[in-house]
Amino acid sequence: MSNVIEVNSEQFATEVEQHTGKVLVDFYAPWCGPCKMISPIVDQISTEFDTLKVVKVNADNAQELMAKFGIRGIPTLLLIENGELINTKVGAASLSQVKEFVS
């Protein structure tokens, strides 16, 4: 069972920027092959890290967020803590790489 929440641009401020604690944000697109590869890993991370909130953003519908964070390629993972961007990872990654990224 996944704990991933899909958010749009309007929900981003409430769900991510105003959240207290760490949030893993997965920018993806339904047509993106590497995004499909990383999706089960993101789902697994959401169940293994109780203190981590995990959200997905469809990049096709969030051009303003893409511009705000300077995202040029997907998948892109952002790690945001208490509203501040603390880390970015671009491209597909293994489970161990994503675990290291969020810890």
- Residue reference for tokens 């961007």: 85
In the chain the domains, ranked by start, together with CATH numbers, are 4-102 (3.40.30.10)
Q: What is the pLDDT of residue 2?
A: 76
Tell me the per-residue pLDDT of 32-62, one tens digit each, with 9 for 90 and over.
999 999 999 999 999 999 899 999 999 999 9
Catalytic residue among 35, 41, 65, 71: 35
pTM: 0.96
The reply to whether 35 belongs to the active site is yes
- Give the pLDDT confidence score for residue 1 in this predicted structure: 66
The strands making up 84-90's β-sheet, listed across from edge to edge, are 4-6, 52-58, 22-28, 76-81, 84-90
From 23, 24, 25, 32, the catalytic residue: 32
Annotated active-site residue 45? The verdict is no
